[in-house]
Amino acid sequence: MSSAWFVYMGCAAVLLFLGLYCLLTMRNLIKLFIGIEILGKAVTLGLIATGSAKNSILTAQALAVTFIVVEVCVVATALAIIINIYRHTKSLDVRKLTQLKG
């Protein structure tokens, strides 16, 4: 595999780490969701980079485009939930969401 592929995948890994870090340490609900978005970027970058290295850039684009569509729907649903949570608790602090014991 070409060295360019490694660079891209390394970058995707960094973004992955960033996203997971955001999920683990942030407390604002919307910030938490930004973490998920960053994970999405990592995936898209990985897909296109792999397609580019394997000379199947068209298939990879089809995959990436479909993935972005999925991402949009997840974002819409999640933000709808967040807005509803806000209406209940008047706050976006995830520490307030501790009613269930888990």
* Site for other proteins, residues 21 to 40, rule: CB under 8 A: 21-23, 25-32, 34-40
Interface mask toward other proteins for 45-84; x: CB under 8 A: xxxxxxxxxxxxxxxxxxxxxxxxxxxxxxxxxxxxxxxx
In the complex, the smallest distance separating the C-beta of residue 54 from other proteins, rounded to whole angstroms, is: 5
Count of CB atoms within 10 A of residue 55's CB? 9
Residue 2 near other proteins by CB under 8 A:
no
Compute the least distance from the CB of residue 3 to other proteins, in Å.
10
> Are the C-beta atoms of residues 54 and 21 closer than 8 Å to each other?
no
Distance set, CA 35 to CA 17, 18, 28, 85 (Å) = 10, 7, 11, 18
- The nearest distance, CB 71 to other proteins, in angstroms, is 7
For residue 64, the minimal CB distance to other proteins (Å) is 5
Residue found by looking up tokens 């967040």 in the block: 82
13 binds other proteins (CB under 8 A): yes
The burial class, CB within 10 Å (0-12 / 13-18 / 19+), for 24 is: exposed
